[in-house]
Structure 1
Amino acid sequence: MRTVGIAATAHYLPERWMAAREIGLASGIPEAVVAEKFGVRGKHVAAPDEHVSDMAVSAGQRALDAAGLEPREVDAVVYYGSTWKDHAVWQVAPRVADRLGCTEAFALELDYVSCGTPVALRVARDMLLAEDELRRVLLVAACRESYLVDYDDPGSRFTYNFGDGAAAAVLERGLGRNEVLGSHMITDGSFSRHVKVPAGGSVEPASEQTVRERRHLLSVEDPADMKARLDPVSLPNFVRAAEVACKRSGISLADVSHLCGIHMKRSMHDELVDALGIPADRASYLDDTGHMSGVDPMLALDRAVAAGDVRDGDHVLALAAGTGYTWAATVVRWGEENA
């Protein structure tokens, strides 16, 4: 039976770190609330001249180095990070492939947001299993959405924890370790118009007025309605996505050894961990980075492995949700095949 495994993971974080105190000063929210309720001790912020492509290249190069691969050995470069990139109506994957020297690879762009990691793992696994000519895929994701946060808009408070960074992974068919297993996704498109950058698209083209009214920053169309409708379904959908992904992997939730999820407020994280039945110390929590679009679970996995929190034989659950609204999960069995 053919398998697909993770040959290496890596991440990159910008040098500047915006502490909870600074977030509090920008938003008018007490530092203690930012740190405790929002669950953010601080977050990394890209330099003004540091873009999604730059961070993705940094993480991608680190992943290639960790895997011991030359760029020409990569068959596909897949970008799955933030949809807010260096330019509008533009793909970052070809730029990353070119800068890394992946001259034998085609480029693929997955237009996902916060649910990116489990989705990308699923797509890359399926491509490698379906196409004999593919051997290795480089996944890269980056986020620079700290620059889309409007601290003067209380309706978009959930974005105040948005930070910047990148993550990457090399997937290889027949590797014999760190096998990518089953996945599941749930989408509720009734939430599709709630969270967006209002202006700049065909519905509301950019103009002097849209710039003046700050309509090129992230906003929530109706915060009260979104919360009222999302709260009852979010936790059940997270759990359902996880359950089905586990079932497709031949395990149950009880067999999950470590959770690598997206960053969320502390109370929701605790509820989710409890609902999944995973011990709190076996769930990554990115309180020093905040939320970075599709980057979070891959960065969490890279850190957990480096720290020794994930060991051979462990089943890791990559779990995420993204505005749209899609909940996604993928299971990885870490270690050698026979461990």
Structure 2
Amino acid sequence: MERKDINVGIVGTGLYIPETYMTAEDIAKETGIPEEIIKTKFGIIRKPISGPEDHTCHMGIQAAKDCLRRTGVDPKEIDLIIYIGEEHKEYLLWTSGIKLQYEIGAENAWAFDMALRCGTAVAALKIAKDMMVADDNINTVMIAGGYRNVDFIDYKNPRVSFMYDLAAGGGAILLKKNYNRNIVLEASIITDGSFSEDVAVVGGGTKYPVSHEMIDKGLYKLDVLNMEHMKKGLEEKSMPNFLGVIKESLRKSGYTPSDIGYLAILHMKRSAHEFILNELGLSPDKSIYLENYGHMGQIDQILSTQLALEEGKIKDGDVVVWVSAGIGYVWDAITIKWGPIE
């Protein structure tokens, strides 16, 4: 079979959602912002946060196991695991994908970790597809990981208010070569390194090693290091780049925004979510606003897709687009044609 005739399809998804939640009322008490503003402007009714045992890789493992249960796939069929969980995890220096491989019984697979902040799932879907097309020995791939960067939020710091929605959870997605359903098409990715040091947890790295002074100064929390640069730059670039990657992914896949059946988009403030839908000419029912989940980083697109399938919002024949953005900055999108291959 020629490379151009190979297709890569989504077999199914899996999730792990912690049982502990932080509500809009809780966030209002922590921040001093009125509860109604948290609900309406920030778009948060509640969000899951990690419990005592909800470690990052562990949540990815639970999501992967859920995916295997839902799909009925034997883990021994898996050839490759791409771990998409955050760098904030059980141990400071550790390859999580190998642990996940062991825990789900994927004894015939090999694994690696990748990171592109909240854009990781979209990029992983592209990388998995490209590897499966290029390598005759990679036929089944598990993409999975966990997220709990909510741990780094200081609710007394107004500079990080745009990240008050950060939550916790795990997600997984299983791919098969020549599955002939739910076909992964083309991606578009933009990275802009001019923002690379605008947002970070500076403490604990080689520049600011772990010390009493680092802890006393609160350098172990997320912070905006250059607010003026970030705000000005994102005002100019963020929405055009969001729309740009969506349109370019669709164009490369042979579609236009008018073809979109469902948009799996990360959680963001409500006005931004509505702006993107309006700019694409999409009605609210073509997406799900994750106001009861907050922002689980790169898990959002998996969560949105699974919720949409459960609610009947995604049907055979639909063009589905995943879109995300992450600090650094990255904007990325990928198109999926749902249902049997035509």
TM-score interval, normalised by the smaller of the two chains: over 0.9
Q: Is the 8 A contact 2:199 2:225 kept in 1?
A: yes
Cα distance in structure 2, aligned partners of 1:14 and 1:49: 9
* Corresponding position: 1:16 with 2:20: yes
Structure 1 CA distance, aligned partners of 2:124 and 2:282?
24
The answer to whether structure 1 residue 196 and structure 2 residue 168 are counterparts is no
Match 1:169 to one of 152, 169, 173: 173
Amino acid at match of 2:288: S
Residue-by-residue CA offset, 1:277-329 (whole Å, 9 max, x unaligned): 22121112110110111110111001101111000000000000111111000
Q: Does 1:156 align with 2:160?
A: yes
Q: 3-state SS of the aligned residue for 1:161? A: coil
1:335 correspondence with 2:331: no
Deviation sequence 1:101-125 (CA, Å, 0-9, x none): 1111101111121112211110111
Q: Percent identity?
A: 33
State the AA in 1 paired with 2:300: D
Residue in 2 that maps onto 1:269: 273
Distance 1:93 1:35 in 2: 36
Query: In the alignment, does 2:6 pair up with 1:2?
Result: yes
For residue 28 of structure 1, report the CA deviation from its aligned partner.
1.3
Alignment of 1:221-260 (within 5 A): 221-260=225-264
3-state SS of the aligned residue for 1:317? Answer: strand
Distance apart, 1:77 and its partner CA = 1.0
Alignment of 1:256-335 (within 5 A): 256-335=260-339
State the 1:225 CA deviation.
2.7
Report SS of the residue matched to 1:247: helix
Decide whether the 8 Å contact of 1:83 with 1:112 is kept in 2: no
Q: C-alpha deviations, 1:256-277, integer Å up to 9, x for none?
A: 1110011000011111111122
Instruction: Give the drift of 1:81.
Output: 2.6
Structure 2 residue 217 is the aligned partner of structure 1 residue 213: yes
**Structure 1: 5+ residue stretches without partners:** none
Bigger drift between 272-281 and 183-192 goes to 272-281
| Aligned residue number for residue 70 of structure 2 | 66
1:114-133 equivalences in 2 (<5 Å): 114-133=118-137
CA offsets 1:47-103 (integer angstroms, 9 cap, x no match): 123201111011000111122111111111111132211111222111111111111
Give the unaligned 5+ runs of structure 2: none
Q: Which residue of 2 aligns with 1:103?
A: 107
User: How many residue pairs are counted as aligned between the two chains?
Assistant: 338
Amino acid at match of 2:151: Y
Q: Offset of 1:141 from its aligned partner?
A: 2.2
Instruction: Say which is worse superposed, 310-319 or 273-282, in terms of deviation.
Output: 273-282
How far off is 1:243 after superposition? 1.0
1:32 lines up with 2:36 in the alignment: yes
* Aligned-pair Cα RMSD in Å: 1.0
Question: Following the alignment from structure 2 to structure 1, what is the Cα–Cα distance between the partners of residues 33 and 97?
Answer: 37
